[in-house]
Structure 1
C-alpha cells in the first residue's frame, strides 16, 4: 500500500502510482475526474444531437469528485479540530501532516486509499472490487471481505475497521497462498 503522502500526491498533483502498478505521470486523479470527457448518449447514426443534450462530463465522475472534495474538507477539519474550512485542495494537502499530528495515520491512510481506489475504478484505470458475501475474514470472523481479481495480482481485504491482522494495526489483507486459504473459509 502506498504512503499517505503518495496517495494524496496521486490525487492532487501527478498520478505516479506505485512500484507494482505505476501510473502514467499525467495529471492528478481528481483533475481527471473533473475534466473527464465521457459522453452519456451518442447521436443516432449520421445525425446531430441537439445542443445541451449531452453533459460535458460523466455525472458519476463529477459526483465522486464532489464527494471526495467535501469529505476531504470534513476530514481536514476533524484532524485540525477546527470549525474553519479550507478549500478542498488545501484541505487535501493538509491531511498527511494533520493525520500525523492527530496520531491517526493508519485510519486516515485507509480512508484516502479508499478515495484513491474509487477514483481509479471510476476512471476505468482499475476494475471494480467485489464483495465476497459468503466468505468470512480469517482475522475478525466477519463477512466484510472484498476482493479484486486482477490478472497480475488477485487479492482480497477486510473492510472492518475493528479487524486486526496478527500484530498489525491494520485489517487483514490476503494475497498469494493466503488468498486460497480465505476461499476455503466459506459460510453456508
Structure 2
C-alpha cells in the first residue's frame, strides 16, 4: 500500500500506483473521474433514444468525485482545527502535513486509502469488493467481512469499526492461510 503522500499524489497529480500495482503515470484519479469520455445509454432494440437522454458523463463517477472532494475539505478542516474552508485541491494537498501535525497519520491514511480504492473501482481499474455474507470475522464474530479476489493477491477485511485484531487495534485483515481459515469459518 502507498504511504499517505503517494495516495494523495495518485488522486491529484499522476496515477503512479505502488510496487505491486503500478499505475500508468497518467492524470490523477480524481481528474479521470471528472473527465470520463461520454457514455451513452443504448436505446431498446430497434428504438431511438430521445434527444437529450444521453448524460454527458457517468453520474456515478461525478457523484463519487464530489463526495470525496467534500470529505477532503471536511477532513482538512478537522486536521487544522479551523472553521475556514479552502478549495478541495488545496485541502487534499494539505492532508498529509495536517495528519502529521495532528498525530493522526494512520487514521487519515486509512481514510485516503478508502477514497483511492473507491476511485479505482469506479474507474474500472480494479474489481469491486464482495461481501462474504456467510463468513464470520475471526476477531469480532460479526458478518462484516468483505474481500477481493485479485489474481495476484486475494484478501479480505472486516469493516466493523469496533473490530480490533491484534496489537494494532485495527479491524481484521485476511491474506494467505488466514484467508483460508476465514472461508472455512461459515455459519448456516
TM-score by length of 2: 0.92
* RMSD of aligned Cα (Å): 2.0
| In 1, Cα distance between equivalents of 2:160 and 2:37 | 35
1:15 correspondence with 2:10: no
How far has the Cα of 1:179 moved from its partner? 0.5
CA distance in 2, matches of 1:171, 1:125: 25
Instruction: Tell me how many residue pairs correspond in the alignment.
Output: 188
CA distance change for structure 1 residues 170 and 39 in 2, over 3 Å: closer, same or farther? Answer: same
2: CA distance between counterparts of 1:180 and 1:95?
37
Deviation at 1:49, TM superposition (A): 6.0
Distance 2:45 2:77 in 1: 51
SS of match in other structure, 2:111: helix
1:157 is paired with a residue whose SS is strand
**TM-score, normalised by the number of residues in structure 1:** 0.92
Which residue of structure 2 aligns with residue 34 of structure 1? 34
Q: 1:144 to 1:55 in 2, by over 3 A?
A: same
Report Cα offsets for 1:140-183 as digits up to 9, x if no partner: 22222110011221110112233232122432211111100111
Aligned to 2:187: 187
Deviation (angstroms), 1:135:
1.4
For the pair 1:61 / 2:71, whether they are aligned, the reply is: no
Indicate how the Cα distance of structure 1 residues 54 and 185 shifts in structure 2: closer, same or farther if over 3 A, else same.
same
Query: Within 1, Cα distance between the matches of 2:94 and 2:164?
Result: 27
Structure 2 segments unaligned to the other structure (5+ residues): none
Matched residue, 1:175: 175
Following superposition of structure 1 onto structure 2, how do residues 29-108 of structure 1 map, counting pairs within 5 Å? 29-42=29-42, 52-108=52-108
In 1, distance between residues paired with 2:128 and 2:155?
A: 12
SS at match of 2:148: strand
**CA distance in structure 2 between the partners assigned to 1:100 and 1:182 by the alignment:** 35
Gaps of at least 5 residues in structure 1 are none
